[in-house]
Structure 1
Amino acid sequence: MTDDTDESTIEAEAARLASLAGDLSVPVPTCPGWTLAELVTHVGQTHRWATHVLRNRVQERIWSRQVPSGLAEGESGDAAWLTAGAATLLETLRVTDPAMPVWTWGPDKRASWWPRRMLFELVVHRADAELALGVDPVVPAPTAIDGVEEFLHNLPSAAWVTRPLAELGAEGATIHLHATDADGEWTITQGPGGAITWARGHAKGDVAVRGPVSDLLLLLYGRRSPDGLTVYGDRAFLDRWLSAAAF
């Protein structure tokens, strides 16, 4: 189902995260209350969840905690367990028809939704691990551009995000993102009930953010502060929106 680029990127990101999973007791500041043990366990369980959905052609909502992890009660995953789950996921993705109808939490109810979601689950949590270890995370520009659009594509389906966005009372407000190192510009418009719409291209927003596209992606996920980027316009609204929208 995945193309070669998807496969190699998922495989590389899983290997990078596994390489960071040494001392699992290290706290992860961007995931409050977690250590690297919880982070690795979460990612590995998410891989097993996606594998289960695809192999069983699941049509109704299923929570990741309902899928067997292969771990004993109270046991955390480690690098080997993470790597094994990623390998099984990749094997499953390669043999799955992308047009197969399956359950997803996003807007697309086909198997093709899952590889992209699993890639950015890895990318963002790899960044979490690097930040926990004092490493400055970088996402290659083509991957980061796709990541921004994957985030915006799925955001209207994320009810746990649209509810707090609705409470902002900001219908009609706009945020413009402008990548300084790649061909990427997006305008996000806040709609009724917390829904958003977005469009590619240059525009003027109520607030605009300029910076490397890797940083823009991590900003959307709440892993980067706007402080290190160039912000024009209503910074207070940007801070409120990012706080409500972070996954």
Structure 2
Amino acid sequence: MTVSLEFPTLLRLLDERSAAFRSAVTAAPSLDAPVPSCPGWTVLDLVRHLGTGQRWWAAIVAAGPAGAPPAKEVAEVPRGTEALLSWYADAHELLLRALRAVGPERACWTWWSAGVSPANAWGVARRRVHEVLVHTYDAQLAAGAVRPMPADVALDGVAEFLDTCNSTPVAWPHEAATVQYHATEGRSWLLTLDSTGAWPAPLTDDAAPASVSATGTAEQLLLFVWGRRTLRDLRTEGDQRVFEQLIAWEPEE
């Protein structure tokens, strides 16, 4: 893993980001307001998605080691903003309580179990921090009041995405390549793509020139890997086809 935040820090960040998400939803003109970064979704859809996800991961963590996750409940949600946010807050507390009850080392089912991120409560907490972080951006965009992300959280978000979403033993179906990400805050990462799969690692001073690289703020890089920004928002060097191939790649294990 490229970053190792302590479990209590992750729980604190999860709480802080969830509070920011609720504030963004409150600031939206209505629950029917469109979310530009999630085409076809309204603010109501965004809250339903995130709250349902928090409840599902709470059940996953509580279940412990398992070969498959529990069924995801598709619950009816309130239509009023106050009641909806109360429903979301309950979902958030369910997840926090489940994580606190089991501790960071508790193994559980995860969809990333073959990659770098650990299949345990620590890995779930980290993933949910950044899920809420990015969806807070979505809600703020819908409200027309985007606020800067905390740089330290965005930096970990880039690393977490590489560890979780760009980490797989599935063979890369194209010519072997390397991708470098450079954050202007002073941190960089390397992603190797070859017949062994996709594997992230810290970027060392003696690393060979990459096939392609992208430079931007931590927030810009995070929003790019999450599909909220494009290459035009970053400074790139090298063969941009590698980025296009990576974005289009859907490895099946």
State the TM-score bracket (shorter-chain normalisation): 0.7 to 0.9
- In the TM superposition, residue 85 of structure 1 has moved relative to its aligned partner by 0.9
Query: Is 1:92 aligned to residue 98 of structure 2?
Result: yes
Counterpart mapping for 1:178-193 below 5 A: 178-181=182-185, 183-192=186-195
Whether the 8 Å contact between 2:18 and 2:132 is mirrored in structure 1 is: yes
Specify the SS of the correspondent of 1:21: helix
Alpha-carbon distance in 1 for matches of 2:211, 2:106 = 41
1:177 counterpart letter in structure 2: Y
Q: Tell me the percent identity.
A: 29
1:35 counterpart letter in structure 2: T
CA displacement, residues 40-70 of structure 1 (integer Å, 9 cap, x when unaligned): 111101100111112232513226xx23455
Specify the SS of the correspondent of 2:210: coil
Shift of the 134–72 alpha-carbon distance from structure 1 to 2, 3 Å rule, reads closer
CA displacement, residues 21-45 of structure 1 (integer Å, 9 cap, x when unaligned): 2411111222222111111111101
Equivalent of 2:140 in 121, 127, 130 = 130
2:201 is matched with which residue? Answer: 199
TM-score, normalised by the number of residues in structure 2: 0.81
- In the TM superposition, residue 222 of structure 1 has moved relative to its aligned partner by 0.8
2:23 is matched with which residue? Answer: 19
Whether the 8 Å contact between 2:168 and 2:199 is mirrored in structure 1 is: no
**Range that drifts further, 96-105 or 204-213:** 96-105
Specify the SS of the correspondent of 2:132: helix
Alpha-carbon distance in 1 for matches of 2:64, 2:159 = 26
Shift of the 25–243 alpha-carbon distance from structure 1 to 2, 3 Å rule, reads farther
Query: Is 1:102 aligned to residue 115 of structure 2?
Result: no
1:150 is matched with which residue? Answer: 160
Counterpart mapping for 1:72-91 below 5 A: 78-91=84-97
- In the TM superposition, residue 75 of structure 1 has moved relative to its aligned partner by 11
Alpha-carbon distance in 1 for matches of 2:47, 2:23 = 11
TM-score, normalised by the number of residues in structure 1: 0.82
Whether the 8 Å contact between 1:21 and 1:36 is mirrored in structure 2 is: yes
Shift of the 16–138 alpha-carbon distance from structure 1 to 2, 3 Å rule, reads same
Specify the SS of the correspondent of 2:236: strand
CA RMSD of aligned residues (A): 2.9
Shift of the 72–121 alpha-carbon distance from structure 1 to 2, 3 Å rule, reads closer
Alpha-carbon distance in 2 for matches of 1:104, 1:98 = 14
Whether the 8 Å contact between 2:52 and 2:75 is mirrored in structure 1 is: no
Alpha-carbon distance in 2 for matches of 1:239, 1:133 = 31
Query: Is 1:47 aligned to residue 54 of structure 2?
Result: yes
Whether the 8 Å contact between 2:52 and 2:74 is mirrored in structure 1 is: yes
- In the TM superposition, residue 133 of structure 1 has moved relative to its aligned partner by 2.8
Gaps of 5+ in 1: none
Q: How many residues align?
A: 234
Whether the 8 Å contact between 1:219 and 1:226 is mirrored in structure 2 is: yes
Gaps of 5+ in 2: 1-5
2:3 is matched with which residue? Answer: none
CA displacement, residues 97-138 of structure 1 (integer Å, 9 cap, x when unaligned): 322222111222322221111111101111122223333353
Query: Is 1:215 aligned to residue 220 of structure 2?
Result: yes
